[in-house]
Amino acid sequence: MTADEPAAVTVRWLGHASLVLDLGGARVLTDPLLRPHAGLLRRRPGPPRREHWAGASAVLVSHLHHDHAELGSLRLLDGVPVLTAPAAAHWLGRHGIGGATGLADDEWWPVPGTDVRVRQVPAVHGDRPMPHRPNSAHGFLVVAPGVRVWFAGDTAPYPAMRRLPELAGGPVDLALVPVGGWGPRLSGGHMDPVQAAAVCESLGARRAVPVHWGTLHAPVSRRLPPGWMDRAGPAFVHALARRGLVEPVLLEPGGAARLGERVELLGAGAGTA
């Protein structure tokens, strides 16, 4: 590995905002949605295979909307540290989620037994109420020797995003960015594919995986425009391709890629738990 070549990281997209990062000897799981539904929302395809997320070292919860903090899924991860904002950790603890840990804004949390560190970074996502106050939506940086990952959570673009490489200690090697929602229209506090591509380019990210699309839908979605669920991911890839500054990595739910000097696509298959 050369000085400007990042260390390898494996990323698996379980669907919506749920990803599994294997890096530096740690397995980090984001906003786990491991069951067939999140409240009234239904997921397509079925829930992810248990072997795709089992053995997590830490869980990151960006905020308390039910498609990101699904209590039934978090209970399946009993005993795994759950990292989130202090207000969110308090709410989760009151709802029976053990191991919920609130991180201060400038706190780096070391994953036990590894050289991997996690910290919160800001997000702008306050248009819809959450089951707690104050609003405490955040993203995360996950940093291991030779690799820096940004998981955006849910957010609109904001000017201080340009500081993320500084906070990470170097360029962002992998951005995990939301590009859609669970309906054809986005409410405030989100990014569409073009906005997400512009953000990744402005950060100088090396690679980017689009998430938060193509998974969840409301029961009435049969009346919505055909194909709406599948457009945002390819639209993000198209937006990045126009300038070629960031390499997109487009995954299907259950799909994975090993990212080192090259992108190696691994076995997919969302399957069932």
Which domains does the chain carry? 9-260 (3.60.15.10)
Q: Which pLDDT band, with edges at 50, 70 and 90, does 269 fall under?
A: low
CA distances from 91 to 32, 130, 131, 134 (A): 17, 11, 8, 11
DSSP SS3 for 17: coil
According to the model, what pLDDT value does residue 271 have? 44
Geometric angle at alpha carbon 54, from 49 and 58, rounded to 5°: 130
CA distances from 64 to 59, 78, 125 (A): 14, 18, 11
Mean pLDDT of 220-249: 90
Mean pLDDT of 242-267: 94
Mean pLDDT of 232-242: 96
- Is the confidence at residue 272, as pLDDT, over 50? no
CA neighbor of 122 nearest in space, from 155, 100, 148: 155
Geometric angle at alpha carbon 217, from 122 and 19, rounded to 5°: 45
According to the model, what pLDDT value does residue 184 have? 79
Least confident among 196-200, 249-253, 264-268: 264-268
Per the listing, tokens 């890629």 go with 257
Mean pLDDT of 212-235: 86
Mean pLDDT of 203-228: 88
- Is the confidence at residue 270, as pLDDT, over 50? no
- Dihedrals phi, psi of 82, to nearest 5 degrees: -110, 115
Higher pLDDT, 206 or 134: 206
Per the listing, tokens 């100088």 go with 204
Least confident among 3-7, 104-108, 245-249: 3-7
Q: pLDDT tens digits, residue range 174-201?
A: 999 999 987 778 877 889 999 999 999 9
Please, how many CA atoms are within 13 Å of residue 66, restricted to the half-sphere of its CB? 13
Q: Across the strands, what pairs with 84?
A: 102
Higher pLDDT, 189 or 68: 68
Least confident among 178-182, 200-204, 247-251: 178-182
Q: pLDDT tens digits, residue range 73-132?
A: 999 998 999 999 999 999 999 999 989 999 999 999 999 999 999 999 999 987 666 665
Mean pLDDT of 6-31: 96
- Is the confidence at residue 163, as pLDDT, over 80? yes
According to the model, what pLDDT value does residue 135 have? 67
CB 17 within 8 A of CB 191: no
Q: What contacts 141, CB < 8 A, 6 or more positions away?
A: 118, 119, 121, 148, 149, 150, 151, 164, 167, 168
